[in-house]
Amino acid sequence: MIRLDRVSKKYPDGTVAVQELTLEVQRGELVVLVGPSGCGKTTTMKMVNRLVEPTGGRIVVDGTDVTDADPVALRRGIGYVIQNVGLFPHRTIEENIAVVPQLVGWPRKRRNERARELMELVGLDPAVHGRRYPHELSGGQRQRVGVARALAVDPPVLLMDEPFSAVDPVVRSQLQDEFLRLQGDVRKTILFVTHDIEEAVRLGDRIAVFKQGGLLEQFDTPAAILGAPATEFVADFVGADRGLKRLSVTSITPADLEHPTVVRADDDVTAALAALGDERWAVVLDGDGGLAGWVGRDMLTGSGSVGERARRMEAWVRLDDTLKVAFAEMLQWNAGWIAVLDPDDDRYLGVLTPSTLHAALRRSVEADAKDVARAEVVLESVQNA
Ligand SMILES: Nc1ncnc2c1ncn2[C@@H]1O[C@H](COP(=O)(O)OP(=O)(O)OP(=O)(O)O)[C@@H](O)[C@H]1O
């Protein structure tokens, strides 16, 4: 969908911002460009919508060579979101969102409807915020307007240059969550620039790590970049705590689960004790295989049913959650294990413990190490091309 083929940019003063960069963003994919300040991320992005002209190579967007396209028409077809949004201060929020629809000649009624629909999509209330001016919104709300404006004429491609970096970390995290949800619905092809590796890992389907001079060091999935950095530069850039960051990109799989003793809520105490054998506790399920709680050996005294004695669970996770979510829940509840449920019907599947968590993390590192042999080959061929 977006293809950069040996693209270079040398500014007139001799600065080489990007060198022979080859990169492809597939339809519906979100690729994050990440790297230290001045490594050519913004230059790369601006060459795609021709705010900067390349000095070498070719850029093709949706089958069209951008150097052949009329730059104004090209920019209207590519949404662009920047750090400080660049809203018009004397226009209302609704008018700001409708800028491009107005430029391309949509009638007023359609423009207004579209602006309201987009406000709702990005979590703003059209009745409250639509008639306000940019200075009457918070930083986070202004960033949402920036995203809404970029989506106004439904462009297939979005370029986003540090769109969330001007807001505080809490709002930033909220905007990232909302943005991921939005992208799940609209599935745009997105090139996203950030200098923050955490943001890259959280948002990217793939991440391109750059170093000074616009050199591509590694282009791969977040898990592979964290699990098996291809070069020392990438390892330094992602940080010594990359093991921890990996938790947030590794999902729980059925193979990671342990299967402790399970008893039913309507089992009687004696049967449950027999089932427990030497174990100290068991998971308690209801009649439908749902999680009813847990029970300890010392709670199984007298007669009656397990259900009367079971303790309800404080927390659980689902199979499609990440290891980070599981680990955080275990810490929060000071628990030695956490139950894992089926994301579709909430049936109980097994439990995660600190040692299975660790094994899961190692498994994913090893899986990615295999991938990296491939990534290195690609990288070499790009650099030597
Ligand atoms: N108009 C220009 N003329 C000359 N040099 C430029 C120009 N714009 C950018 N540069 C230089 O090109 C290099 C890459 O800049 P660019 O803005 O693309 O980096 P970046 O990775 O986006 O940085 P940051 O994270 O700080 O925004 C830098 O050395 C910068 O000084």
pLDDT digits (tens, 9 = 90+) for 197-249: 889 988 999 999 999 888 899 999 988 888 888 999 999 888 877 777 778 87
| Listed range (140-149, 206-215, 216-225, 288-297) with the worst mean pLDDT | 140-149
- Strand pairing category for 16-25 and 189-194: unpaired
Terminal CA-CA length for the chain: 22
CA dihedral 128, 130, 132, 135 (to 10 degrees): 110
What does the pLDDT average to over 94-122? 87
Token reading at 205: 């389907």
- Indicate if ligand 1 lies below 6 Å from the C-beta of 15: yes
Ligand 1 atom closest to Cα of 214?
A: 14
Query: From CA 260, how far away is CA 109, in angstroms rounded?
Result: 62
Residue 373: predicted pLDDT: 44
**Most confident of the ranges 111-115, 365-369, 381-385:** 111-115
Q: Is the pLDDT of residue 377 over 50?
A: no
Q: Ligand 1 centre and the CA of 9: distance in Å?
A: 10
Token readout for 361 is 């993390």
- Nearest protein CA to atom 17 of ligand 1, as residue: 42
Highest averaged pLDDT of the listed ranges 94-103, 170-179, 362-371, 372-381: 94-103
Among the atoms of ligand 1, which is closest to the Cα of residue 44?
18
Tokens 């052949």 belong to residue: 68
pLDDT higher than 70, residue 359: yes
Where in the sequence of the chain do the CATH 3.10.580.10 domains occur? 254-359
Q: What is the pTM of this model?
A: 0.74
Structure tokens at 204: 């990217």
Fold classification of 254-359 (topology level): CBS-domain (3.10.580)
Q: Note the CATH architecture for domain 2-249+371-384.
A: 3-Layer(aba) Sandwich (3.40)
Q: Which atom of ligand 1 is nearest to the CA of 195?
A: 25
Ligand 1 atom index nearest CA of 35: 21
Contact 191, 26 (CB under 8 A): no
Does the Cβ of 40 fall within 6 Å of ligand 1? yes
Q: Relative to the CA of 193, which ligand 1 atom is closest?
A: 22
Choose which residue among 7, 18, 43 to substitute to test ligand 1 binding: the one with the highest number of ligand atoms within 8 A of its C-beta: 43
Query: Atom 16 in ligand 1: which residue has the minimum CA distance?
Result: 40
Distance from Cα 42 to the centre of ligand 1, integer Å: 7
Evaluate: CB of 143 within 6 angstroms of ligand 1.
Answer: no
Q: Of all residues in the chain, what percent carry a pLDDT higher than 70? A: 94
Domain ranges in the chain with CATH number 3.40.50.300: 2-249+371-384
Predicted confidence (pLDDT) at residue 66 exceeds the cutoff of 80: yes
- 1-41, pLDDT tens digit by residue? 899 999 999 999 999 999 999 999 999 999 999 998 889 99
Coil, helix or strand at residue 26: coil
pLDDT at 181: 85
**Ranges 26-35, 167-176, 226-235, 260-269: which has the least confidence:** 167-176
* Cα 35 to Cα 207: distance, rounded to the nearest angstrom: 10
Angle at 276 between CA 271 and CA 279, to 5 degrees: 165
Average pLDDT estimate for 145-161: 86
